[in-house]
Chain A
Amino acid sequence: MPDLLEFEEPIAVLLKEIEALSTLAISDDRDREIARLEKRVDAIRGELYRNLTPWQRVQVARHPGRPTTLDYVERLCTDFVELHGDRRFADDHAIVTGTAFYKGQPVLVVGHQKGSDTKQKIYRNFGYARPDGYRKALRTMEMAQKFGRPIICFVDTPAAYPGIESEERGVAEAIALNLREMAMLEVPVIVVVHGEGGSGGALGIAVGDRILMHEFAIYSVIPPEGCAAILWRDSAKKVEAAEALKITAPDLLALEIIDEIVIEPVGGAHTNPAQAAALLDVALQRAMNEVAALGVQERLDQRYAKFRKMGSVGIVEA
């Protein structure tokens, strides 16, 4: 059973009851009671997840059991071959890249990788990418372009790593260059924001023809805690900040920043990774087909137009 979040407390009580019942001797009464409680759990969970607050969505997006980029790659692709290193300085473990086959077609996969257990999390630097990761991403994306292969970018990072070596090796330049060059990649680029879309660290691999976003993922200019600390001077106001920043998938769809919401299993992707992957599969395949059908110039023009109009909703020309 995946870890429960604090707002899932009503479920926790019932799950404990079910656990207690299941230690009893088997009987029709016991089984009927367990079935009744399980139905109740589903109903409550459905109700909770239909009405998540933005801050609750932040917690779901950061859930330790949430499927990672490599989980999705494993379920949706075959013959994945991981490619390492930026050929400049290092191999960043917080961004993975590799060749793979999706629906039998060759694709390049690029994505942040958070890691699922403690050891992996440390190895992956909790998904905080360094400049080398962005440079590896661009290097491999340019290789994909050379061979005319579409690119799928999986986004799930708290932020680019805010450390000394990041600054020394020019993380800002690395992200900036990706933004510019991804705008000009001739091959289809599909972006999937499946967990945390943390600011420039996310955007650095998130310029594409279609931006898909998971139902409970978040995408933000700054973490709610950071925003609260700066604007409220009180990081405890993260709940208010999460609300004000409009970081949820429905908000971003309304602001025309993303193209489509990928529905998750009731209770979040972590409760049923197989179903989460199957739901993504449908959206991903449709997006890929649409974008691949375009000619190169048409695709580049549409990609430019897409980002060109972002923000128009917020401008008045007096």
Chain B
Amino acid sequence: MAWFKKARKPIATPEKSSRVPEGLWVKCPECDTIIYTKDLVKNLHVCGKCAHHFRLSATERLKTLFDGERWEELAPNLTSNDPLKFTDTKPYKSRLANTQKATGQKDAVIVGVGRINGVEAVVASMEYSFIGGSMGVVVGEKIVRGIELALARRAPVVIVSCSGGARMMEGALSLMQMAKISAALARLDRAKLPYISLLTDPTTGGVTASFAMLGDLNIAEPKALIGFAGPRVIEQTIRQKLPDGFQRSEFLLERGMLDLVVDRRELKAILEKTIRFMSSSPVTQPEG
């Protein structure tokens, strides 16, 4: 029996998962340190030695954000009915059923209502292991319901992106979720309610080109792949290799596309401070 399972080193392609594998011990793909899995969980799935951020599942993410690891899930039972009757090498319907069984999730996002440092907030958390975290009609509907709930309760919204973009198997209906979610965010914006977008590895395609870039704050985890076109598509277009670090969080920060890059272990404190900045009662003019 192996003492640990080796996690594969993440490379430019987002398909290679850097999720924590099952087992007692795990080897960090960045620095090769062997980490006791329980320690890794305690450290929010960040390597204590080199700060490599392992990918989180949607549920693990919500646990790191909500007080007491507790939340109420919104619309947990929405599922896709395969509106296009889509088939590629196998029917989308069976792909969906298999993924649902493997992940225990109905689709690629969980929307929860809970408290972040005491403040009620709506958090949408994407599940990369569900067809690459792709955005179809269920993801769009759940996120919009979350935003509409936040509008009704005047609560802040946090969306944690972890997605390869729109879901091809739901065709233009997936594409339209970009417009649908953005329209809901427009209402949130005009209602002066906080929206924080957290971009994690990877965030690409139609997710980046809609809600992920529309935060009052756009915050990324370190070294996350973030872009519109995938690196391979760009390399094909320009017929050359992309420079190291292209489309990584630190690159986007330098190009002015992000407000900040935050270590996962600091994230909750940053959320607390910035949400307090955005949602505390307005400062009144000093009298006199």
Identify the A interface with B (CB < 8 A).
160-164, 166-173, 175-177, 179-181, 183-184, 197, 199-200, 203-204, 206-207, 219-222, 226-227, 230-232, 240-241, 244-247, 252, 255, 257, 303-304, 307-308, 310-318
B234 lies within 8 A of A199 (CB): no
| In the complex, residue of chain B having the shortest beta-carbon distance to the beta carbon of A168 | B255
B51 on the A face (CB < 8 A)? no
**Interface residue from B88, B210, B256 paired with A232 (Cβ < 8 Å):** B88
B180 lies within 8 A of A307 (CB): yes
Residues of A within 8 A of B78 (CB): 315-318
Q: A176-B211, A176-B214 are in contact. Are A310 and B180 (CB under 8 A)?
A: yes
- Complex CA distance for A167 and B177, rounded to whole angstroms: 22
Identify the B interface with A (CB < 8 A).
75, 77-84, 86-89, 136-138, 140-141, 144, 166-180, 182-187, 189-190, 205-206, 208-214, 227-229, 233-234, 237-238, 242, 246-247, 255-257
Residues of B within 8 A of A226 (CB): 233
A246 lies within 8 A of B183 (CB): no
A246 lies within 8 A of B175 (CB): no
A162 lies within 8 A of B233 (CB): yes
A179 lies within 8 A of B179 (CB): yes
Q: A200-B175, A314-B170 are in contact. Are A167 and B228 (CB under 8 A)?
A: yes
Residues of B within 8 A of A222 (CB): 166, 168
A315 lies within 8 A of B234 (CB): no
B187, B209, B255 — which one has the most chain A CB atoms within 10 A of its CB?
B209
| In the complex, residue of chain A having the shortest beta-carbon distance to the beta carbon of B81 | A316
A304 lies within 8 A of B187 (CB): yes
**Interface residue from A172, A180, A219, A313 paired with B186 (Cβ < 8 Å):** A180
| In the complex, residue of chain B having the shortest beta-carbon distance to the beta carbon of A165 | B238
A170 lies within 8 A of B255 (CB): yes
B178 lies within 8 A of A310 (CB): no
CB of B140 to closest CB in A, whole Å: 5
Closest 4 CB pairs of A and B: A314-B83, A311-B137, A162-B229, A179-B182
Residues of B within 8 A of A304 (CB): 183, 187
- Total cross-chain contacts (CB, 8 A): 205
A180 lies within 8 A of B214 (CB): yes
**Interface residue from B176, B214, B237, B255 paired with A307 (Cβ < 8 Å):** B176
27 chain-A/chain-B pairs, Cβ below 8 angstroms: A162-B229, A162-B234, A167-B234, A167-B246, A172-B209, A175-B209, A176-B209, A176-B210, A177-B213, A203-B179, A227-B168, A231-B169, A241-B88, A244-B84, A244-B88, A245-B86, A246-B84, A247-B171, A257-B173, A304-B187, A307-B176, A307-B180, A311-B177, A315-B137, A316-B78, A316-B79, A316-B81
**Interface residue from A200, A206, A221, A317 paired with B75 (Cβ < 8 Å):** A317
Q: A162-B228, A167-B228, A244-B84 are in contact. Are A315 and B168 (CB under 8 A)?
A: no
B77 lies within 8 A of A318 (CB): yes
**Interface residue from A161, A255, A310 paired with B177 (Cβ < 8 Å):** A310
B89 lies within 8 A of A220 (CB): no
- Complex CA distance for A179 and B191, rounded to whole angstroms: 17
B172 lies within 8 A of A219 (CB): yes
A184 lies within 8 A of B166 (CB): no
**Interface residue from A206, A240, A310 paired with B173 (Cβ < 8 Å):** A310
CB of B236 to closest CB in A, whole Å: 8
| In the complex, residue of chain A having the shortest beta-carbon distance to the beta carbon of B75 | A317
**Interface residue from A161, A175, A308 paired with B183 (Cβ < 8 Å):** A308
Residues of A within 8 A of B214 (CB): 176-177, 180
CB of B229 to closest CB in A, whole Å: 3
**Interface residue from B170, B178, B238 paired with A179 (Cβ < 8 Å):** B178
**Interface residue from A160, A183, A241, A252 paired with B182 (Cβ < 8 Å):** A183
- Complex CA distance for A154 and B183, rounded to whole angstroms: 20
Q: A168-B255, A181-B186, A314-B136 are in contact. Are A220 and B172 (CB under 8 A)?
A: yes
Residues of B within 8 A of A244 (CB): 84, 86-88
A184 lies within 8 A of B190 (CB): yes
| In the complex, residue of chain A having the shortest beta-carbon distance to the beta carbon of B185 | A180
B84 lies within 8 A of A311 (CB): no
Residues of B within 8 A of A303 (CB): 183
B141 lies within 8 A of A203 (CB): no
Residues of B within 8 A of A164 (CB): 234, 238, 242, 246
